[in-house]
Amino acid sequence: MSATIHPDARVESDDIGDGTRVWAFAHVMEGAHVGRDCNVCDHVFVESGVVIGDRVTIKNAVLLWDGVVVEDDVFIGPGAVFTNDRNPRASVKKARHQFDRTLVKANATIGANATIVAGVTVGESAFVGAGAVVVADVPPFALVFGNPARQAGWMCSCATRLPEDLRCPACGLAYAVGQDGLVLT
């Protein structure tokens, strides 16, 4: 098995996992890692130093800059943008090690046109709503939206919004509020 690369894609990295599909006009730079069974849609840009886990879906026109790490089973909606420098200036050139690290934990969802500011962590199974501007860490299983993004509830790992009792009506999983977000009970 190997990756499927559209003839109009530009893939300079040789670190693309088996079963991954890279579609037209996507650009994956040398030094980027894309895991197995990913879907990298049209017009996605993946800069050197980006690490993408397995089974990640990256919809059209997403921009991933050096220092971004995306764990397994993440969904990134169309037009989402990640940054890697909280204090950019055109006149100040920074080395790769000076970029802020941004982490999207396993099973998280990033909505369409969301902006993820450099240096934040989006927790496991968190759900970032469309158009949100994330400027601070998002706890595991949190639902956030707005500008700046604020928590508006909790999401189950199956992507169902949780009621107040934190028992998922769709799959039956139950949660409790822990120190850093929700935990399975």
State the residue for tokens 């169309």. 78
3-state SS class at 40: strand
Give me the average pLDDT of each 10-residue run along the chain (185 residues): 95 98 98 98 97 98 97 98 95 92 98 98 98 98 98 97 98 94 89
Single-letter amino acid code for the residue at 176 = A
Backbone angles phi, psi at 172, to 5 degrees: 90, -5
CA-to-CA dists, residue 15 to 20, 104, 131, angstroms: 11, 20, 31
- Residues paired with 16 in a beta bridge: 34
CA-to-CA dists, residue 25 to 14, 59, 67, 146, 157, angstroms: 17, 12, 22, 30, 32
Single-letter amino acid code for the residue at 91 = S
Q: Specify the pTM.
A: 0.96
The pLDDT value recorded for residue 69 is 98
Tell me how far apart the 2 most distant CA atoms of the chain are, in Å. Answer: 54
